[in-house]
Amino acid sequence: MAFKQSYFYSIFWPRLKRNKLALVGGAVVLALFLISLLAPLLSPYEPNAINAWKVLSPPSWQHWFGTDELGRDVFSRILYGARISLKVGFVAVGIAVTIGTVVGLLSGYYSGLVDATLMRLVDIMLCFPAFFLILAVITFLEPSIWYIMMVIGLTGWMGVARLVRAETLSIREMDYILAARCIGCSNARIIFRHILPNAISPVLVSATLGVAGAILTESALSFLGIGVQPPTPSWGNILTSGKDYIEFAWWLSLFPGLAILVTVLAYNLLGEGIRDALDPRVKR
């Protein structure tokens, strides 16, 4: 534990701190967390409150981001939509990282037939276009945020598996792994106590970048009408309602689009910064 704290404060954090874009991305990610947690306090209106007198009102002091076709406040709906997007991102990536890490560890450690079998499974999964596979699965299921999170997670673990496998193949040849075998440590103990902590760095980077991809996928599914279903607000279905009025209600497309853009960009910047900070070959 002391070694990990020393590494964080003496190497990782100083390298990350010098990357200004990564810090900006991290600040935006932190702000999104706070916004999603405090949405009921920050929202000036109920997200589903209908006001027939304010239909398609442009941005004003009363409605900062305007209103939609039912008179609902777009700013309030975007705040609550942040909750949906972050929930989908983290749960989906959690599923993908868990599956990918276990598959990569088993494949890299046992090698041989286990490695060949698991890697062929990865190759088969990679043959299918992920987004179209998600569309096909969602079509046969009832539209639900939980199904969306599960499907995105179950179709996004292959990259993590390959990264962890590559790290495991390198780490298992280290002297301390040989020493652990010599003193009688079980395979499970070697894998999860010695290999996993030292193979976690690329997983952190992949997870950070994966959150951005999951948010983008959820927004695309909601935009197509098979994701989060109205009246639950999400950035994708706000965009969907905006496409029918884009000629004279530009705010319905602009603000949720900017929310998706800023969020995905922030996670990508943070992920790139973490990768550079953990990579000893990058000199800063």
**For residue range 27-79, what is the model confidence (pLDDT) as tens digits?**
999 998 898 888 888 888 888 888 888 888 888 898 889 888 888 999 999 99
Token code pair at residue 16:
């990350």
Domain span at 227:
12-40+64-278
Q: What predicted TM-score, i.e. pTM, was given to this entire model?
A: 0.83
- Given a cut of 50, whether residue 82 has pLDDT beyond it is yes
Residue 53, domain member (yes or no): no
- Comparing 51-55, 157-161, 215-219, 280-284, the range with the smallest average pLDDT is 280-284
Number of Cβ within 10 Å of residue 126's Cβ equals: 12
Residue 207, domain member (yes or no): yes
Alpha-carbon 71 to chain mean position:
31
Q: For residue 119, what is the domain's CATH number?
A: 1.10.3720.10
Mean pLDDT (the chain) is 83
Cis status, amide bond into 129, omega within 30 of 0: no
Instruction: With CA atoms as reference, report the closest residue to 32 among 89, 82, 99, 94.
Output: 82
Residue 49, domain member (yes or no): no
Residue 55, domain member (yes or no): no
Contacts 24+ apart (CB under 8 A), 133-136: 134/217, 134/221, 135/221, 135/224, 135/226
Q: How confident is the model at residue 225 (pLDDT cuts 50, 70, 90)?
A: confident
Contact 219, 207 (CB under 8 A): no
Residue 73: beta bridge partners?
Answer: 67
Give me the pLDDT at residue 98, please: 92
68 vs 135 pLDDT, higher one: 68
Q: Is 97 helix (H, G, I), strand (E, B) or coil?
A: helix
Token code pair at residue 121:
């499974």
Residue 5, domain member (yes or no): no
Residue 85, domain member (yes or no): yes
- Given a cut of 90, whether residue 278 has pLDDT beyond it is no
Residue 1, domain member (yes or no): no
Q: How far is residue 274 from each of residues 20, 102, 107, 161, 259, measured CA to CA in Å?
A: 12, 22, 26, 19, 23
Q: Is 55 helix (H, G, I), strand (E, B) or coil?
A: coil
Give me the pLDDT at residue 130, please: 73
Contact partners, residue 44, CB within 8 Å, separation at least 6: 73, 75, 76
Contact 251, 74 (CB under 8 A): yes
The arithmetic mean of pLDDT across residues 215-233, rounded, is 80
pLDDT tens sequence across 161-172: 998 998 888 888
Total number of domains constituting the chain: 1
- Comparing 104-108, 210-214, 258-262, the range with the smallest average pLDDT is 210-214
Residue 2, domain member (yes or no): no
CB hemisphere CA count around 237 (13 angstroms): 18
